[in-house]
Amino acid sequence: MMKTCGTASSLFADATLALRTRPGRPACLEALSLLTVLTVFALTAGSGAHLFTFASMTDWPGLIGLALIAIIIPALGEEMVFRVLLAGRRGRWRAGAALALFVLWHPAQLWLGLPMAQPVFANPAFLAITAALGLACTISWRRSGSVWPAAAMHWALVVMWKGLAGG
Protein backbone atom coordinates (compact mmCIF):
# COMPACT_ATOMS: atom_id res chain seq x y z
CA MET A 1 0.00 0.00 0.00
CA MET A 2 1.19 3.48 -0.80
CA LYS A 3 2.19 5.92 1.94
CA THR A 4 0.52 9.31 1.71
CA CYS A 5 2.46 12.50 2.28
CA GLY A 6 -0.67 14.35 3.42
CA THR A 7 0.02 18.08 2.97
CA ALA A 8 -0.76 20.41 0.10
CA SER A 9 2.95 21.07 -0.38
CA SER A 10 3.55 17.37 -0.96
CA LEU A 11 1.60 17.05 -4.22
CA PHE A 12 4.80 16.54 -6.17
CA ALA A 13 5.90 13.80 -3.79
CA ASP A 14 2.47 12.14 -4.02
CA ALA A 15 2.59 12.29 -7.83
CA THR A 16 6.09 10.84 -7.90
CA LEU A 17 5.07 8.04 -5.56
CA ALA A 18 1.97 7.28 -7.67
CA LEU A 19 4.18 6.92 -10.73
CA ARG A 20 6.79 4.80 -8.95
CA THR A 21 4.41 2.45 -7.16
CA ARG A 22 4.13 -0.78 -9.09
CA PRO A 23 0.72 -2.37 -8.98
CA GLY A 24 0.59 -5.92 -7.73
CA ARG A 25 -1.15 -8.79 -9.45
CA PRO A 26 -4.41 -8.27 -7.48
CA ALA A 27 -4.55 -4.60 -8.55
CA CYS A 28 -4.01 -5.55 -12.18
CA LEU A 29 -6.71 -8.23 -12.04
CA GLU A 30 -9.09 -5.80 -10.36
CA ALA A 31 -8.40 -3.19 -13.05
CA LEU A 32 -9.05 -5.80 -15.74
CA SER A 33 -12.36 -6.69 -14.07
CA LEU A 34 -13.31 -3.01 -13.82
CA LEU A 35 -12.38 -2.50 -17.47
CA THR A 36 -14.57 -5.44 -18.49
CA VAL A 37 -17.59 -4.06 -16.62
CA LEU A 38 -16.84 -0.57 -17.95
CA THR A 39 -16.61 -1.84 -21.54
CA VAL A 40 -19.97 -3.61 -21.26
CA PHE A 41 -21.51 -0.43 -19.81
CA ALA A 42 -19.94 1.74 -22.53
CA LEU A 43 -21.14 -0.56 -25.30
CA THR A 44 -24.66 -0.60 -23.86
CA ALA A 45 -24.90 3.15 -23.23
CA GLY A 46 -23.08 4.11 -26.41
CA SER A 47 -25.01 1.79 -28.71
CA GLY A 48 -28.32 3.00 -27.33
CA ALA A 49 -27.29 6.59 -28.04
CA HIS A 50 -25.77 5.71 -31.44
CA LEU A 51 -22.32 6.92 -30.37
CA PHE A 52 -20.43 4.17 -32.14
CA THR A 53 -19.77 3.33 -35.76
CA PHE A 54 -18.20 -0.11 -35.84
CA ALA A 55 -16.08 -0.94 -38.87
CA SER A 56 -13.12 -3.13 -39.65
CA MET A 57 -9.79 -1.51 -38.91
CA THR A 58 -7.79 -0.67 -42.03
CA ASP A 59 -5.47 2.08 -40.76
CA TRP A 60 -3.17 0.02 -38.54
CA PRO A 61 -0.31 2.58 -38.57
CA GLY A 62 -2.81 5.24 -37.49
CA LEU A 63 -4.12 3.05 -34.68
CA ILE A 64 -0.59 2.30 -33.48
CA GLY A 65 0.24 6.01 -33.52
CA LEU A 66 -2.95 6.80 -31.63
CA ALA A 67 -2.20 4.07 -29.08
CA LEU A 68 1.30 5.45 -28.48
CA ILE A 69 0.09 9.03 -28.04
CA ALA A 70 -2.92 8.05 -25.91
CA ILE A 71 -0.62 6.54 -23.28
CA ILE A 72 0.48 10.09 -22.39
CA ILE A 73 -2.56 12.16 -23.38
CA PRO A 74 -5.27 11.57 -22.34
CA ALA A 75 -4.59 8.47 -20.22
CA LEU A 76 -1.62 9.25 -17.98
CA GLY A 77 -2.05 13.04 -18.11
CA GLU A 78 -5.70 13.03 -17.07
CA GLU A 79 -5.18 10.32 -14.46
CA MET A 80 -2.35 12.28 -12.84
CA VAL A 81 -4.50 15.42 -12.68
CA PHE A 82 -7.94 14.06 -11.84
CA ARG A 83 -7.06 11.02 -9.75
CA VAL A 84 -3.66 11.60 -8.15
CA LEU A 85 -3.65 15.37 -7.65
CA LEU A 86 -7.36 16.18 -7.29
CA ALA A 87 -9.00 13.02 -5.92
CA GLY A 88 -6.06 12.08 -3.74
CA ARG A 89 -6.01 8.95 -1.62
CA ARG A 90 -8.72 9.82 0.91
CA GLY A 91 -12.04 11.59 1.22
CA ARG A 92 -15.31 10.91 -0.57
CA TRP A 93 -16.06 14.58 -1.17
CA ARG A 94 -12.65 15.09 -2.71
CA ALA A 95 -13.11 12.05 -4.96
CA GLY A 96 -16.62 13.21 -5.91
CA ALA A 97 -15.42 16.72 -6.75
CA ALA A 98 -12.55 15.33 -8.84
CA LEU A 99 -14.97 13.01 -10.66
CA ALA A 100 -17.34 15.92 -11.40
CA LEU A 101 -14.44 18.01 -12.71
CA PHE A 102 -13.28 15.08 -14.86
CA VAL A 103 -16.72 14.79 -16.45
CA LEU A 104 -17.05 18.57 -16.92
CA TRP A 105 -13.55 18.76 -18.43
CA HIS A 106 -14.76 16.92 -21.53
CA PRO A 107 -17.48 19.36 -22.70
CA ALA A 108 -15.28 22.25 -21.49
CA GLN A 109 -12.70 21.20 -24.09
CA LEU A 110 -15.38 21.62 -26.73
CA TRP A 111 -16.53 24.99 -25.39
CA LEU A 112 -12.93 26.23 -25.22
CA GLY A 113 -12.26 25.12 -28.79
CA LEU A 114 -9.34 22.88 -27.86
CA PRO A 115 -7.92 20.89 -30.79
CA MET A 116 -8.70 17.39 -29.44
CA ALA A 117 -12.32 18.24 -28.58
CA GLN A 118 -15.13 16.51 -30.43
CA PRO A 119 -18.89 17.27 -30.51
CA VAL A 120 -19.58 13.92 -28.82
CA PHE A 121 -17.96 15.35 -25.66
CA ALA A 122 -21.28 17.09 -24.89
CA ASN A 123 -23.43 13.99 -25.48
CA PRO A 124 -25.15 12.78 -22.26
CA ALA A 125 -24.39 9.12 -23.02
CA PHE A 126 -20.73 9.96 -23.60
CA LEU A 127 -20.68 11.87 -20.32
CA ALA A 128 -22.22 8.88 -18.51
CA ILE A 129 -19.46 6.67 -19.94
CA THR A 130 -16.91 9.31 -18.89
CA ALA A 131 -18.33 9.30 -15.35
CA ALA A 132 -18.16 5.50 -15.22
CA LEU A 133 -14.56 5.60 -16.45
CA GLY A 134 -13.68 8.20 -13.82
CA LEU A 135 -15.29 6.14 -11.07
CA ALA A 136 -13.50 2.95 -12.15
CA CYS A 137 -10.17 4.78 -12.34
CA THR A 138 -10.71 6.36 -8.92
CA ILE A 139 -11.45 2.96 -7.38
CA SER A 140 -8.37 1.45 -9.01
CA TRP A 141 -6.09 4.33 -8.03
CA ARG A 142 -7.23 4.42 -4.43
CA ARG A 143 -7.10 0.67 -3.90
CA SER A 144 -3.74 0.11 -5.62
CA GLY A 145 -1.82 3.28 -4.75
CA SER A 146 -0.49 3.25 -8.30
CA VAL A 147 -1.63 5.43 -11.17
CA TRP A 148 -0.75 2.74 -13.72
CA PRO A 149 -3.87 0.53 -13.52
CA ALA A 150 -6.12 3.59 -13.86
CA ALA A 151 -4.05 4.93 -16.75
CA ALA A 152 -4.16 1.51 -18.44
CA MET A 153 -7.96 1.36 -18.19
CA HIS A 154 -8.28 4.92 -19.50
CA TRP A 155 -5.88 4.16 -22.35
CA ALA A 156 -7.64 0.91 -23.31
CA LEU A 157 -11.07 2.52 -23.41
CA VAL A 158 -9.84 5.46 -25.51
CA VAL A 159 -8.02 3.18 -27.98
CA MET A 160 -11.05 0.88 -28.30
CA TRP A 161 -13.34 3.87 -28.85
CA LYS A 162 -11.10 5.70 -31.31
CA GLY A 163 -9.78 2.64 -33.12
CA LEU A 164 -12.72 0.27 -33.23
CA ALA A 165 -15.88 2.24 -32.57
CA GLY A 166 -15.40 5.26 -34.81
CA GLY A 167 -14.65 7.72 -32.00
Answer whether 27's CB lies under 8 Å from 107's CB.
no
Instruction: Determine the Cα–Cα distance for residues 111 and 105; give it in Å rounded to an integer.
Output: 10
Top pLDDT among 55 and 130 is at 130
**Residue 52: predicted pLDDT:** 86
48: Cβ contacts below 8 Å, ≥ 6 apart: 125
Q: Which of 79-83, 117-121, 151-155 has the lowest mean pLDDT?
A: 117-121
Question: What is the percent of the chain with per-residue pLDDT over 90, rounded to a whole number?
Answer: 76
**Residue 6: predicted pLDDT:** 55
Top pLDDT among 156 and 56 is at 156
